[in-house]
Amino acid sequence: MSILSIFVIIPILMLGGLFLSRNMKQIRTVATIGSALQLIAAIVLVVLFCGERSAGNTAEMLFMVDHVWFQALNIHYAVGVDGVSVAMILLSAIIVFAGVFASWKIEPLPKEFFMWLILLSIGVYGFFISIDLFTMFMFYEVALIPMYLLIGIWGSGKKYYSAMKLTLMLMGGSALLLLGILGIYFHSATDGNLTMNILEIAKNDAIPHFWQNILFPLTFVGFGVLGAMFPFHTWSPDGHASAPTAVSMLHAGVLMKLGGYGCFRVAMYLMPYATQELSWIFLILTGISVFYGAYSACVQTDLKYINAYSSVSHCGLVLFALLMWNTTAMTGAIMQMLSHGLMTALFFALIGMIYGRTHTRDIREMGGLMKIMPFLSVCYVIAGLASLGLPGLSGFVAEMTIFVGSFDHTDTFRRVFTILACTSIVITAVYILRVVGKILYGPVQDQHHLKLTDAVWYEKFSTIVLIIAVAGIGIFPLWVSDLIRESIQVISERIIP
């Protein structure tokens, strides 16, 4: 059994364990041990991967396993990882781990909540390790469906509306995606040996240009919906606002990364010709996302909306950088995925904790929280600083890599968009500081808040894990960027003629 299958097997075992647990204590034990094991496995994977690489193994994908699954359509359970997937798996493991602690006291139906949450994580891990289009798609759906129940049952506010909207929009994306995948499958080889395996499709390079131009938009938009690309982003504010804390964390932190990951692994990698031909259209859309999300966030009053729009802006930057298709910009995009994943998870965790105390997310009704709950407030400031790109935290390295990479294009169109994207760092500062100033500083707005307490141990643990990860990337970025760069190189070389 390969190390990769462990990432699917641990959650399945956890599901079994959760099914058998009878009380909160057992549920927590299973969830904690399982997610800790996943985290350890992810770290081991990173170490093994780096070891293989430094031992001179230059294969595109490592730890490959291939089982035939459905002979007629040539569907395989084929897994393998490159640097990008490894980074994403590590990200997911960290966030699931933190998420378990953030939902320590979830009510009602804790058992079912954790089961769905773990099912979701199966989908996420499976997606990142798959190199077979069909299994990839399957895991993608496995990750999406639990979202509906998680928001619909454990959510708050207009949760039915949000859950329905989110699921429907993402399913709409999946429909396009399925079309795209089938199209790719039927053009995957010229000699009749049709295949779903991404590596083989890339090797065959048999998709005709005409079909590339059709399939690229389908797959890109299909994944782009999950990556909150303008104008398909509106599920995100409502969805995040209604979702329970851990779900927001996992969704913004990991699920939205599925979109970006899919965009480059499927759309761009398999269809390099169309990427060059059509990237300008999506560059405009993602450029708008970056800008638009940031400006929208400036006037929102709900904490979760602010972060949802900020996610639109940051994830827009991910897709934007991917479409710049050079190694530096794409490396930056992956780092931005990591960084955004961690810091948004941190944000949503903190917002959940603050909301759990004040019972409001309206920034106009809060103030002076720094005095009342210093720990949460300081963490919030750190998350904010990471978001606005303070050096030493993860946001800075990602954004700078993106900007330097994007600036490598000399044509005016890309230059202008790069400079526009750069301006988002100012707007980000505006909305982050606005929130920090309003809710954390200043006089206490509501006298009832004075009685509130600061974070308890599991909340502290959850946020500290995330802060360490954010600072870890921010202070020692070189190993992450090296890990990613080598793998990106293969892909960017396919695109750049």
Partner 1 sequence: MDYSYSILILALPLFMFLTLALGGNKMSQKFAGILGTAGLLTIAVLSYMVAFQYFGMDRVDGVRDAEIAYNFEWLSFTDKLTINLGILLDPISVMMLVVITTVSLMVHIYSMGYMHGERGFQRYYAFLSLFTFSMLGLVVATNIFQMYIFWELVGVSSYLLIGFYYTKPSAVSASKKAFIVTRFADLGFLIGILLLSFYTETFSFDQLTAEGGFFLTSTSGATFLGCSVASWAMALIFMGGAGKSAMFPLHIWLPDAMEGPTPVSALIHAATMVVAGVYLVARLFPVYLSVPEVLDLITWVGAITALYAAIVACVQSDIKRVLAFSTISQIAFMIVALGVCTSMVPSEGGLGYMASMFHLFTHAMFKALLFLGAGAVIHAVHSNEMSHMGGLRKYLPITHITFLIACLAIAGIPPFSGFFSKDEILAAAFNKSMFWGVWMTVVAAITAFYMFRLYFGIFWGKEAKHEHTPHESPATMTIPLIILAIVTCVAGFIPFGEFVTSNGEAYHIHLDMTVAVTSVVCAVVAIALATWLFAKPNPKPEKMQAALPNLHKWAYNRFYMDNVYQFITHKIIFACISKPIAWFDRHIIDGTMDMFATVTNSVAEKIKGFQSGKLQMYVWIYIVGAMILAVAAIYTFVK
Is residue 423 close enough to count as binding partner 1 by CB under 8 A? yes
Interface stretch with partner 1, choices 49-57, 230-238, 240-248, 278-286 (CB under 8 A): 230-238
* Minimum distance from residue 420 beta carbon to partner 1 (Å): 11
Residue 63 interacting with partner 1 (CB under 8 A): no
Contacts of residue 107, defined as CB under 8 A and 6 or more positions apart, other chains included, come to none
Contact 392, 475 (CB under 8 A): yes
Cα distance between residue 380 and residue 386, in whole Å: 10
Nearest to 148 by CA among 116, 104, 179, 178: 116
Q: Which is nearer to partner 1, 111 or 165 (CB)?
A: 165
Point out which span in 91-99, 108-116, 148-156, 227-235 binds partner 1 (CB under 8 A).
227-235
Q: Which CB, 122 or 318, lies closer to partner 1?
A: 318
Which of residues 441, 452, 458, 490 is near partner 1 by CB under 8 A? 441
CB-nearer residue toward partner 1: 121 or 300: 300
295 binds partner 1 (CB under 8 A): yes
Beta bridge partners of 70: 75
Q: Does 492 bind partner 1 (CB under 8 A)?
A: no
Q: Does 420 bind partner 1 (CB under 8 A)?
A: no
Cβ proximity to partner 1: between 295 and 458 the closer is: 295
Which stretch, 84-92, 185-193, 210-218, 437-445, contacts partner 1 (CB under 8 A)?
Answer: 437-445
The single residue listed with the structure tokens 């647990």 is 21
Q: How many C-beta neighbours within 10 Å does residue 175 have?
A: 12
> Tokens in use for 107?
């009510």
Position among 113, 185, 273, 292 found at the interface with partner 1 (CB under 8 A): 292
From 16, 51, 356, 392, residue interacting with partner 1 (rule: CB under 8 A)? 392
Site membership for partner 1, residue 408 (CB under 8 A): yes
Amino acid of residue 362: D
User: Per-residue b/e over 443-475, b at no fewer than 16 CB within 10 Å?
Assistant: eebeeebeebeebeebbbbbbbbbbebbbbbbe
In the list 38, 401, 462, 463, the residue contacting partner 1 (rule: CB under 8 A) is: 401
* Residue choice 153, 298, 452, 464 for contact with partner 1 (CB under 8 A): 298
Q: Nearer Cβ to partner 1, position 202 or 397?
A: 397
- Is 407 a binding residue for partner 1 by CB under 8 A? The answer is yes
Q: 4 Cβ partners below 8 Å, 6+ apart? A: 45, 63, 65, 79, 80, 81, 129
First vs last C-alpha separation in the chain = 38
Spatial contact of 142 and 119, defined as CB atoms under 8 Å apart:
yes
Residues 97, 38 contacting (CB under 8 angstroms): yes
The answer to the question of residue 440 lying near partner 1 (CB under 8 A) is: yes
Of 145, 182, 425, 471, the residue at the interface with partner 1 (CB under 8 A) is: 425
Q: Is 51 in the site for partner 1 (CB under 8 A)?
A: no
- Are β-strands 62-70 and 75-81 bridged in parallel, bridged antiparallel, or unpaired? antiparallel
Judged by CB under 8 A, the stretch of 5-13, 263-271, 419-427, 447-455 that binds partner 1 is: 419-427
Burial (CB count <10 Å: 0-12, 13-18, 19+), residue 191: exposed
Q: What is the nearest approach in angstroms of partner 1 to the Cβ of residue 43?
A: 22
Phi, psi of 78 (to 5 degrees): -115, 120
Query: Using the rule CB under 8 A, which residue among 404, 464, 471, 490 binds partner 1?
Result: 404
Minimum CB distance to partner 1 smaller for 101 or for 230: 230
67 DSSP β-pair partners: 77
> Pattern 442-471, binding to partner 1, x per CB under 8 A?
xx----------------------------
Q: Does 108 bind partner 1 (CB under 8 A)?
A: no
- The residue among 322, 320, 379 whose CA lies nearest residue 347 is 379
β-partners of residue 77 are 67
Q: How many CB atoms lie within 10 A of CB 33?
A: 14
How many CA atoms are closer than 13 Å to the CA of 230, on its beta-carbon side? 24
Place of tokens 């997310």: 361
Identify which of residues 13 and 404 has a Cβ nearer to partner 1 in the complex: 404
Question: How far is it, in rounded angstroms, from Cα 67 to Cα 291?
Answer: 45
DSSP 8-state secondary structure symbol assigned to residue 363: G
x/- letters, 149..188, toward partner 1 (CB under 8 A) = ---------------xx--xx-------------------
Sign of the CA dihedral running 229, 329, 385, 462: positive
Answer yes or no whether residue 482 interacts with partner 1 by CB under 8 A. Answer: yes
**Can residue 300 be called a binding residue for partner 1 (CB under 8 A)?**
yes
Which single residue is written with the structure tokens 């994207």? 421
- Candidate residues 419, 450, 468, 496; the one interacting with partner 1 per rule CB under 8 A: 419
- Residues paired with residue 81 on neighbouring β-strands, in sequence order: 62
Task: Please report whether residue 434 would count as binding partner 1 according to CB under 8 A.
Answer: yes
What residues make contact with partner 1 under the rule CB under 8 A? 164-165, 168-169, 230-231, 233-235, 292, 295-296, 298-300, 327-328, 368, 370-371, 385, 388-392, 396-397, 400-401, 403-405, 407-408, 418-419, 422-423, 425-426, 429-430, 433-434, 437, 440-443, 477-478, 481-482, 485
